[in-house]
Structure 1
Amino acid sequence: MRTLPFAEWTSYASGHAARVDVLLADHLERRKRREAHPVEDFLFTYYPTRPNQLRVWHPGPGVRLEGGAAYEGRRGYVVEDGTASLDPAEVERRTDSIKWIRALLSATLDRQPQFGCFGLHEWAMVYRTPEVRHAAWPLRLGAEGTDQVVESHKIGCSHFDAFRFFTTPARPLNTLQPTRESQPALEQGGCLHANMDLYKWAAKLMPFTPSSLLLACFELARDIRTLDMRASPYDLAALGYTPVRIETPDGKAEYTAAQRTFANRARPLRRQLAALCEELLG
């Protein structure tokens, strides 16, 4: 356990908040205008963490904050004699959740990444249906062309939270039938959504997650989401997104190369989150 003086930790907290403000500036401006964005809104609609929650700086386990009255009443903290620290009772209350997250992260670390999905999960979400998720944006190949791409490829989505959004006719086309219960047995580190979800697990582990780790996971999720939608069936050229044409050999190669880069970025973050779980449970 180490204790940070007030001047030191408030400097870290201010720097963190300023970094978050830069990262979220465009999103918050659009929100004021009530302007939807099919790519960037995902991090704030699918994931439950709010911008004001991201701005709060958390030091992580083993740190006390002198003059930490600002943390009085915050979930997961205790303040004694003006010094704030994480509350051990909060860890005990959340032990089952921490164990589940640890098991998922550890199993994924031990599993060989797969790089042959080509982002077809997004295509399977609009297969043979007029009710697409981003109705304001056209399908790049039209409905018929999109359906042909799905039907001409082998779909092997291993991620339950992507698979559950498949249309009814697309679900039997998947070589796997993921469930929430089978998630630890199927999750693998090549999957874009599994790597985006590192942000979800980092946020779920707050306030135990050091804010530097949380923002690293957030930035990874943001970058992956961009590839996810560039490789999707939607035409987002008007927003400045060049499509990754996964229906072509060149597009497949481009997607796979980016997927490998993201897997390499995700692996050390996944390892850090697993180690955090171990530390909390230990």
Structure 2
Amino acid sequence: MHDGVTVLSAAEWRARRDAHIARVSPWTREHRARRIRGQKHPVIDFLFTYYSFRPARLERWHPGPDVVLTDADEYLEWAGYTEVGGGVGLDPKAFTDARRRTAEFVLALLTATASRPPRLGCFGLHEWAMVYRTTPEEVRHTGWSLRLGHDGTDQVVESSRIGCSHFDAFRFFTPPARPLNALQPTRESQIALEQPGCLHANMDLFKHSYKLAPFTPSDLVADCFELAADVRELDMRASPYDLAELGYQPVRIETPEGRAEYVKAQAEFAERAAPLRRALVRLCERLLRLPDMSIPPLAQTGNTLST
């Protein structure tokens, strides 16, 4: 059973679809243009390469569960949709065992993360540890110089306490940097270690949202994407790379002033991520109640139906 089903007329859902496309297209359009030119971007590319949601999929609007679209036969061409009373909606049968396992993992991870206070003060040193004791040819973003040079970068790493709790950041540390981390995160310890102050944990809300597509409402995916884009900017401004040419002024975490600036921004992102994390938790809880999301046969356009 469910609380209600929202039925959207063709004019309503098309307006929402068009608004979604307009919202995300500045990122997708520029990414496609750079790709045609063969031009890499050390900040923005991450959103489309490390994260595997292609621009075309980001642009595609999905209403989410408990919504019926009228005059929407075009959605029947997409996986996950079926005819229901009054129009087209998500097909509970498309919520496969694999998707259920994903929802169970995301629910467990995000619930555990939200239960902890944010830990601030890592100062983005994960990016520094990823280039620790490398040669110019070995850095991840070739073509971009290090602000302090290789020796200066290594000195910052060696004189700092590194406390990265995020496995998917830690796994990119250089071998000599790994023993310097106060934690040794693993995939198995991810649920036990992840915490809401972590920049990468907050960027990953985007990944968790699209992993459940098309069952995630696209408004939520776009919210998580925008957060990831903004967090990524701080992540790279605080990195050892000199990206001033691209308009990214550095957050100089090697100084007390820069560290204070970083902590303030980190806290703001933790606060901004909290409602998105809660929304994803609610979504997972809803999806794990399937197949009770079947649409009543008497759905009528413009009504909200309760059962």
- TM (norm. structure 2) is 0.89
- Alpha-carbon distance, 1:178 to partner: 0.5
* Whole-angstrom distance in 1 between the partners of 2:31 and 2:43: 11
Aligned partner of 1:104 in structure 2 is 109
Amino acid corresponding to residue 103 of structure 1 in structure 2: A
Aligned partner of 1:196 in structure 2 is 203
- Alpha-carbon distance, 1:23 to partner: 3.4
- Alpha-carbon distance, 1:119 to partner: 0.2
Aligned partner of 2:299 in structure 1 is none
Query: Secondary structure of the residue that 1:178 maps to in structure 2?
Result: coil
Aligned partner of 2:9 in structure 1 is 5
The counterpart of 1:251, out of the listed 248, 258, 262, is: 258
* Whole-angstrom distance in 2 between the partners of 1:92 and 1:61: 15
Which has the higher relative contact order, 1 or 2, with Cα contacts under 8 A spaced 6 or more apart? Answer: 2
Query: Secondary structure of the residue that 1:72 maps to in structure 2?
Result: helix
Further displaced range: 90-99 or 256-265? 90-99
Amino acid corresponding to residue 41 of structure 1 in structure 2: D
Amino acid corresponding to residue 104 of structure 2 in structure 1: K
Amino acid corresponding to residue 105 of structure 2 in structure 1: W
2:194 equivalent to 1:164: no
Aligned partner of 1:176 in structure 2 is 183
The counterpart of 2:66, out of the listed 62, 65, 69, is: 62
The counterpart of 1:122, out of the listed 105, 112, 127, is: 127
* Whole-angstrom distance in 1 between the partners of 2:192 and 2:133: 30
* Whole-angstrom distance in 1 between the partners of 2:84 and 2:288: 23
Query: Secondary structure of the residue that 2:95 maps to in structure 1?
Result: helix
What whole-Å deviation, never above 9, does each CA across 1:82-110 have from its counterpart, x for those lacking one? 82111111224321111011000100000
Amino acid corresponding to residue 195 of structure 2 in structure 1: Q
2:56 equivalent to 1:49: no
What whole-Å deviation, never above 9, does each CA across 1:126-173 have from its counterpart, x for those lacking one? 001111000100010000000000000010000000000000000000
**Percent of pairs with identical residues:** 62
- Alpha-carbon distance, 1:22 to partner: 2.6
* Whole-angstrom distance in 2 between the partners of 1:230 and 1:20: 23
Aligned partner of 1:221 in structure 2 is 228
Aligned partner of 2:214 in structure 1 is 207
Amino acid corresponding to residue 79 of structure 1 in structure 2: E
- Alpha-carbon distance, 1:80 to partner: 4.5
Query: Secondary structure of the residue that 1:197 maps to in structure 2?
Result: helix
8 Å Cα contact 1:68/1:82 also seen in 2:
no
Amino acid corresponding to residue 240 of structure 1 in structure 2: G
Aligned partner of 1:239 in structure 2 is 246
* Whole-angstrom distance in 1 between the partners of 2:158 and 2:119: 21
Query: Secondary structure of the residue that 2:60 maps to in structure 1?
Result: coil
* Whole-angstrom distance in 1 between the partners of 2:54 and 2:171: 24
Aligned partner of 2:269 in structure 1 is 262
* Whole-angstrom distance in 2 between the partners of 1:184 and 1:77: 32
* Whole-angstrom distance in 2 between the partners of 1:184 and 1:76: 29
CA RMSD of aligned residues (A): 1.2
Amino acid corresponding to residue 267 of structure 2 in structure 1: R
The counterpart of 1:83, out of the listed 77, 81, 87, is: 87
2:28 equivalent to 1:24: yes
Alignment gaps of 5+ in structure 2? 290-307
- Alpha-carbon distance, 1:28 to partner: 2.3
The counterpart of 2:192, out of the listed 185, 194, 216, is: 185
Amino acid corresponding to residue 65 of structure 1 in structure 2: L
* Whole-angstrom distance in 1 between the partners of 2:193 and 2:67: 36
Alignment gaps of 5+ in structure 1? none
Aligned partner of 2:282 in structure 1 is 275
The counterpart of 2:153, out of the listed 127, 142, 146, is: 146
- Alpha-carbon distance, 1:81 to partner: 7.2
Number of residue pairs the alignment of both structures matches? 282
- TM (norm. structure 1) is 0.97
